[in-house]
Structure 1
Amino acid sequence: MSVIGLSNASAWQDDRSGWRRYTPQFDIPMANHPIAKRLDALLSGHNWNRNRFMRKLRKDGATLKRRKLSDGTWKTKHIAPRRTSIRLEREQTLDALVRAMIYRADYCPDSNYLFEVKASVEELAKMIGQLHEYEPGYDGQGGQYRHGRKSCDPVHGAIDDMEAAEMIVVVREFDKESKTNKAKRIFFRPNFFKGFGLSMDDTRSMLSMARKWQEKNGLLKTAKQKRQAELLRQAESDRIASLDRPSLRNLLARIKREFTGENKHTKRVMDANHRLKEAEKRASEQREQREQREQSQRSDTEKRLIQLQGQLPPVYVYQAKNQIKAEHGLTNGPEFDALLLAILETRT
């Protein structure tokens, strides 16, 4: 087995991880872009054990939808709840992988969909020394020929965790003709930035500064030409996942509006919607608490009446109430409830 992407002997793992042979490592100088440099600086001091989205995922678990099958069901992957502390091996993979993703991300504010990582998973794994290539050969016991293959399972596991934590969007597509999976496409979500302590205002400010930086350095025209060439290349390629699904395009467009605050999703409207949702949540909680208090204060007769009125046709209840009113002149109260219960019990 050969390992691709290892820079030197320092890639050997230290004694803290024991069984792991190679340590994930990103040695390329960070891209000369203000957003990339800011994220790289934040990542240098980031503790993945304190990342609130990762902690929530590890506590609650999640289910990822892979692709829709011919019978209408979804192929899924279940991530079970785990201990909240992250193993050193996964931390190292996350550190190196995210740094590579930051290095290859598209930060152009004029892109149709923001923050796409312009690299395949295989390329990212190669950049951090986690792409393993198995040599082809014969299996000595079974006599079966084993084709050479490439593997980067730790990288796939880290990407699944970030996707389940809603820090990234991963676009997958299965080629029905060749029966193979096309190259994935990865986009940063707002939670990616929030996990590093950045608010949406901070992210919008960085996008604004990035545009000014492009203007200052005369890069707007060049960036537009590169973007058009990239779109043409992606449209003609049959090896990478497409963005043809309306639901996916709507999701990416909504994420862009959240990043930029454009159109109807301005900061003021988004804040108002957030306050409305919080108010509705509080009102619902208060209503549930009130119903619970009322339930605990009801007598056995009242509880039984509520049960019977839900089981019997409304006309039976209506006739019983009219009968009590005509014979006893009662319309409510404990005695009325007792008589109503006695009549309804005969109807069950």
Structure 2
Amino acid sequence: MSDSVLTGRPVHRHLIPHFDLKSKNPIAKMLMTHIEKHNFQRNPYLNKMRYAGGVVNLGYSQKILPARTNRLRIEREQTLRETMKALVYCANYKLNSESLFEIKMSVKSLAKQINQLHVSEPTKKYRHGRDNYNPVLNALKDLAAAGLVMLQQNYCVKLKRYQSMRIFITPELFSSLGVNKKTIKKLIHSQHKHDVKSGYDVNKENKAQHLRALVSASIQENDSHALKALKARIKNEFNLPGDIKDIKKKLASLIKNQKSDNAQTEAPQKPQLSAEQQFNRLVVNLNVPAFSIFEIEERVREQHPALDKGSPPYYEAMIKLVKDFHQ
């Protein structure tokens, strides 16, 4: 009899993932409902990543995921579903926070929440046992390669080990679930008004997080360029109210139009050509031969003996003769 019959589970799987916590946050509650109904086999972001492969950018290192079949195994789909539930449950939805959409939890705690933390028996190498949560790590890497989350993990020279991994939800996760970003933005702003009435201070919270990161060397503080770009994008898309964003767009377009109008009005006028330059250009355009120019000069001397050679009236007379000669 096989091991799967004896244990009631596949041989390669230690625990069955499940997430049973219920959130009171309206944003997390709505997202968890969409995740429960979502068909991961038809997720365009995951299908594109599995078909073409992907790159997991960890901030200062990269991991390349090879191309795979688009068909997800049931175990992988279950792990993705429960992991995504835990992510939206633990995410930060505080407006004007420096860590908006960040998961304030370690990967080990995240795996424990979804029943994927397997502690092996003590061995000679691991005398206290070994914590294994590779299914959750693989699920996070798949989501990161698909662009649904961002992972950041730096190496600490002082501790000689990697610091705790930071996880951020990207706006693409909402669109992959069929949730409009305007709906999320509306819920975030309404929750912010309720928090302000309750006495929540955003600046105080940001300062406390910064001091906590300075005290503990295992917490990352320096952001990579990709993370800074993501924070700026989230701030632009979710922190600003819609009316202020429209006003900024109108102002930017007005400033751009005004600059273009000023550039047109203040454009330097082309300097007029001198009589000599006009004559030389006319000779080139009409392809006047040299012997004709000598004849024209003799005529000018005969008709206008008082004109000085090389003066503007002298060249004006020559221009007139050239035009009459080549008409």
- Provide the TM-score with structure 1 as the length reference: 0.63
> In structure 2, what is the equivalent of residue 162 of structure 1?
143
Q: Is the 8 A contact 1:13 1:22 kept in 2?
A: no
- Counterpart Cα distance in 2 of 1:100 and 1:145: 29
Offset, 1:63: 2.1
Secondary structure in structure 1 of the residue aligned to 2:20: coil
> In structure 2, what is the equivalent of residue 186 of structure 1?
167
> In structure 2, what is the equivalent of residue 59 of structure 1?
51
Q: State the Cα deviation string for residues 74-132 of structure 1 (Å, max 9, x = none).
A: x4322111111211111111121111112211110120231110101011011111112
Which of 237, 245, 248 does residue 227 from structure 2 map onto?
248
Aligned sequence identity (%): 33
Q: Is the 8 A contact 2:97 2:206 kept in 1?
A: yes
Which of 17, 25, 28 does residue 24 from structure 1 map onto?
17
- Counterpart Cα distance in 2 of 1:194 and 1:127: 25
Q: Are residues 1:208 and 2:189 paired? A: yes
Which deviates further from its counterpart, 179-188 or 237-246? Answer: 237-246
Aligned residues: 246
Q: State the Cα deviation string for residues 263-314 of structure 1 (Å, max 9, x = none).
A: 9x946988xxxxxxxxxxxxxxxxxxxxxxxxxxxxxxxxxxxxxxxxxxxx
Offset, 1:260: 3.5
Larger CA Rg, structure 1 vs 2: 2
Q: Which runs of 5+ in 1 are unaligned?
A: 1-11, 69-74, 139-143, 271-348
Offset, 1:227: 4.3
Q: State the Cα deviation string for residues 24-66 of structure 1 (Å, max 9, x = none).
A: 1112222x11111111111121111121111111111112234
- Counterpart Cα distance in 1 of 2:119 and 2:158: 26
Q: Is the 8 A contact 2:151 2:168 kept in 1?
A: yes
Q: Are residues 1:220 and 2:164 paired? A: no
- Counterpart Cα distance in 1 of 2:109 and 2:241: 33
Which of 210, 216, 233 does residue 231 from structure 1 map onto?
210
Offset, 1:14: 5.8
- AA aligned to 2:209 is E
Q: Map residues 117-136 of structure 1 onto 2, 5 A cutoff.
A: 117-136=103-122
Distance change >3 Å, CA 61–CA 255, structure 1 → 2: same
- Counterpart Cα distance in 1 of 2:187 and 2:179: 10
- Counterpart Cα distance in 1 of 2:247 and 2:45: 25
Distance change >3 Å, CA 252–CA 13, structure 1 → 2: farther
Q: Is the 8 A contact 1:25 1:128 kept in 2?
A: yes
> In structure 2, what is the equivalent of residue 172 of structure 1?
153
Q: Are residues 1:81 and 2:81 paired? A: no
- Counterpart Cα distance in 2 of 1:13 and 1:259: 48
Secondary structure in structure 2 of the residue aligned to 1:137: coil
Offset, 1:21: 3.2
- Counterpart Cα distance in 1 of 2:177 and 2:247: 24
RMSD: 3.1
> In structure 1, what is the equivalent of residue 288 of structure 2?
none
> In structure 2, what is the equivalent of residue 7 of structure 1?
none
Q: State the Cα deviation string for residues 115-163 of structure 1 (Å, max 9, x = none).
A: 110101011011111112234333xxxxx67663322100000000010
